[in-house]
Amino acid sequence: MINVLDCKKSNYLSRLKSILEKRRSGNKINSDIAIKIVKDVKKNKQKALLKYEKKFSKNKQVKISKNELSNSIKQLDPKVKNAIDFAYNRILKFHKNQKVKNFKFKDNLNNLFEYKFLPIESVGIYVPANLPSTLLMNAIPARLANVKRIVLANPKQNGKLNSAVLYAAKKLNIKEIYSMGGAQAIASLAYIQKVNKIIGPGNDYVTRAKKEVFGHVGIEGMTAGPSEITIVADKNTNLNEVVTSIIGQAEHDINSQCILITNSQSLIQSLKKILNNKLNAIPRKKIAKKSLLINGLIIKVYNDKQIIDSINEIAPEHLELNLKNYKKLINKINNAGSICIGKYSAMAVTDYNAGTNHVLPTLGSAKYSSGLNVGEFYKKISYIKLSKKGIEVIGKKAITLAEYEGLIGHAQSIKSRIRRS
């Protein structure tokens, strides 16, 4: 069911890159469909939005009323409410530590400089059908950054509103809630609700739609696409912990990626023996099996360098280091969304209530970006007030560079200030 890449062969890294690139390049059919939907909603607004909602979700109304909200929340199991409250407090506590700080200073020429963090005015959050944890992860840092307007897009599941997501929305004081999903939801947030930035993870259609609207609105500085996990284990790692972590990720989506890196042939053989039976025991076994068939991979390594090189090439969304001797690896890992260390640090806990954010870079984007954080919801503006002496001293050097670059208008603009002074 899972392919094995043996690092004995000298070209293993190029083979790994080829495997990863095949998934990262995406499904062209899905991409074309998403682009078509975005363009239609951009042009025809509400009419097009409702057309696709009826087609894909049998949904005839996207705006959720106050009565629908309260009636849905009443149906929620108190245990789930309590779990959401618990997660809320832990996520809030972690993200409160992500403080930003304005600064100002004067240089030796009495020039004044300031750098300010200003909250983005409006944000659209996309939350897949039944994931209240995803709303908490996106909206809590937005609230901490003092974003004034938050708009929620959350598709119905089997024609029903999700009471847990709506409870979380009420707790977060989100007033604008729309029952819509897929590429049409992203287009609506951009062109109908007209938010400044769109965040939140989603499937191929959602990810491609976000790329299509980028420029008209902002999106996260990463690709929050289909889920990924890479697990590093050895002969001493508990087999059941490895298997359950793989299945826990594979059940997300057929496009999820599960990779095991190990130096233990016995672990590989044992995994293959029990994996299918374990998969048959879960409700979403068809999705998980297809995910592992398409994107599952075992990397058989022979030294620490191969482990490090493989991890940094994969740049996984989630990395589990489920082995005792992790310290010799940890400081050499440069590319990962989050790193769970040791046998007790199950990635699944970080999806809910460890406190860290579970909206993380996928598809290799951990090579240049980070998980969602409070800073994602700020604009940064520089303020410059030059003194008379400042324009005279630094202006002359600026004129030299402007003239060298052939931008004579720039030079004249600076000279006019110096003459006046």
Phi, psi of 332 (to 5 degrees): -100, -5
Q: What is the pLDDT along the chain (421 residues), one digit of tens a residue?
A: 799 999 998 899 999 999 999 888 766 678 899 999 999 999 999 999 999 999 998 898 999 988 999 999 999 999 999 999 999 999 999 999 998 999 999 999 999 999 999 999 999 999 998 999 999 999 999 999 999 999 999 999 888 899 999 999 999 999 999 999 999 999 999 999 999 999 999 888 998 999 999 999 999 988 777 899 999 999 999 999 999 999 999 999 899 999 999 999 999 999 999 999 999 999 999 999 999 999 999 999 999 999 999 999 999 999 999 999 999 999 999 999 999 999 999 999 999 999 999 999 999 999 999 999 999 999 999 999 999 999 999 999 999 999 999 999 999 999 999 976 5
The one catalytic residue in 220, 251, 317, 376 is 317
Q: How far apart are CA 217 and CA 120, in angstroms?
A: 11
Helix (H, G, I), strand (E, B) or coil at 102: coil
Residue 139 belongs to a domain: yes
Residue 234 belongs to a domain: yes
Long-range residue pairs from 44-51, CB within 8 A, at least 24 positions apart, any chain: 45/191, 45/192, 46/192, 48/184, 48/187, 49/180, 49/184, 49/187, 49/188, 49/192
Residue 289 belongs to a domain: yes
- The token duo for 127 is 């939350």
Q: How far apart are CA 356 and CA 363, in angstroms?
A: 20
- Looking at the structure, tell me whether residues 118 and 85 fall in a common domain: yes
Q: How far apart are CA 5 and CA 301, in angstroms?
A: 9
- Looking at the structure, tell me whether residues 55 and 136 fall in a common domain: yes
Residue that has been written with the tokens 């109304």 in this structure: 61
Active site residue 320: no
- Looking at the structure, tell me whether residues 196 and 260 fall in a common domain: no
Q: What is the C-alpha radius of gyration for the chain, rounded to an integer number of angstroms? A: 25
Residue 309 belongs to a domain: yes
- Looking at the structure, tell me whether residues 198 and 268 fall in a common domain: no
Residue 258 belongs to a domain: yes
Give the CATH number of the domain where residue 282 resides: 3.40.50.1980
- The token duo for 386 is 């030059």
How far from 98 is each of 41, 116, 117, 151, CA to CA, in Å? 36, 16, 13, 23
Q: How many residues does the chain have?
A: 421
Residue 23 belongs to a domain: no
Residue 9 belongs to a domain: no
Active site residue 228: no
- Looking at the structure, tell me whether residues 205 and 245 fall in a common domain: no
- Looking at the structure, tell me whether residues 104 and 180 fall in a common domain: yes
Q: Nearest 5°: CA angle at 195, between 70 and 317?
A: 85
The pTM score is 0.93
Helix (H, G, I), strand (E, B) or coil at 41: helix
Dihedral of CA atoms 105, 106, 108, 111 in degrees, nearest 10, equals 140
How far from 38 is each of 56, 108, 207, 208, CA to CA, in Å? 15, 52, 12, 10
The domain containing residue 186 runs over which residues?
A: 28-222+374-379
Q: How far apart are CA 262 and CA 260, in angstroms?
A: 6
- Looking at the structure, tell me whether residues 81 and 176 fall in a common domain: yes
Q: Is the dihedral of CA 324, 325, 330, 332 positive or negative?
A: negative
The one catalytic residue in 318, 320, 358, 376 is 318
- Looking at the structure, tell me whether residues 138 and 240 fall in a common domain: no
Whether the CB-CB separation of 316 and 24 falls below 8 Å is answered with no
Residue 1 belongs to a domain: no
End-to-end CA distance of the chain: 76
As for how many domains the chain has, the answer is 3
